[in-house]
Structure 1
Amino acid sequence: MSDAPGFADSLRAGVPATLRGLWVTFLTPFGLEVVAGSGADWIGVDLQHGDLHLAQLAPLLRATDAPVLARLGSHDPAALARAIDAGVDGVIVPTVESAAEAERLVAAAHLPPRGRRSGGHARAGLVGAPERPLLLPMVETRRGLAAADEIAAIPGIDGIFVGPYDLALSLGKPVRSEKVLDAIHEALAAARRHGRITGAFTGDPGLVADLDERGAVLDLHAVDTDAAALRAGLAALLEAR
Structure 2
Amino acid sequence: MRGNPLKARLAAGEHIYGTMMFELLSAGLPAAMAAAGAEFIIYDMEHSGFDYMQMKDQFALTRGLDLVAMVRPPEKSYSAVSRLLDLGAMGFLLQMSESVAEIREIISWTRYPPEGRRGAVFGGAHDDYAPGPIPEKMRIARERTIIMPLIETARGLAAVDEIAAVDGVDGLHLGQFDLTLSMGIPGQFEHPDFLAAVDNILAACHRHGKFAACMAMDVPTIVDWNAKGFQLTSCNYDVGLIQGALRSMIAGAKAGLAG
Regarding TM over 0.5, the answer is: yes
Does residue 74 (structure 1) correspond to residue 75 (structure 2)? The answer is yes
Unaligned runs of at least 5 residues, structure 1: none
For 1:23, give the aligned amino acid: M
Aligned counterpart, 2:26? 29
Please show how residues 44-59 of structure 1 align to structure 2 within 5 Å: 44-59=42-57
For 1:52, give the aligned amino acid: F
Contact 1:87–1:127 (CA<8 Å) still a contact in 2? no
Q: For the residues of structure 1 that align with 2:199 and 2:33, how far apart are their CA atoms?
A: 31
Aligned counterpart, 1:157? 169
Cα drift, residue 106 of structure 1: 1.2
1:152-191 Cα shifts (integer Å, max 9, x gaps): 1111111111111111111111133121121022112212
Structure 1 residues 181 and 208: CA distance shift in structure 2, 3 A: farther
Please show how residues 1-241 of structure 1 align to structure 2 within 5 Å: 5-11=3-9, 13-16=11-14, 18-32=15-29, 33-64=31-62, 65=65, 66-121=67-122, 122-126=124-128, 130-132=140-142, 133-173=145-185, 174-205=188-219, 207-208=221-222, 211=225, 215-241=227-253
Q: For the residues of structure 1 that align with 2:196 and 2:207, how far apart are their CA atoms?
A: 16
Cα drift, residue 205 of structure 1: 4.1
Cα drift, residue 134 of structure 1: 0.7
Q: Which moved more, 1:108-117 or 1:47-56?
A: 47-56
Cα drift, residue 71 of structure 1: 1.3
Contact 2:149–2:171 (CA<8 Å) still a contact in 1? yes
Structure 1 residues 113 and 11: CA distance shift in structure 2, 3 A: farther
Please report the TM-score for the alignment, with normalisation by the length of structure 1: 0.88
SS in 1 for 2:228: coil
Identity %: 28
Q: Which moved more, 1:164-173 or 1:201-210?
A: 201-210
Structure 1 residues 190 and 49: CA distance shift in structure 2, 3 A: same
Contact 1:140–1:163 (CA<8 Å) still a contact in 2? yes
Please report the TM-score for the alignment, with normalisation by the length of structure 2: 0.83
Cα drift, residue 104 of structure 1: 0.8
Contact 1:111–1:118 (CA<8 Å) still a contact in 2? yes
Cα drift, residue 62 of structure 1: 2.3
Aligned counterpart, 2:134? none
Structure 1 residues 176 and 51: CA distance shift in structure 2, 3 A: farther
Q: CA RMSD in A?
A: 2.2
Q: For the residues of structure 1 that align with 2:247 and 2:104, how far apart are their CA atoms?
A: 45
Cα drift, residue 35 of structure 1: 3.4
Q: For the residues of structure 2 that align with 1:147 and 1:55, how far apart are their CA atoms?
A: 35
Q: For the residues of structure 2 that align with 1:134 and 1:76, how far apart are their CA atoms?
A: 17
Unaligned runs of at least 5 residues, structure 2: 131-136, 254-259
For 2:22, give the aligned amino acid: T
Cα drift, residue 59 of structure 1: 0.7
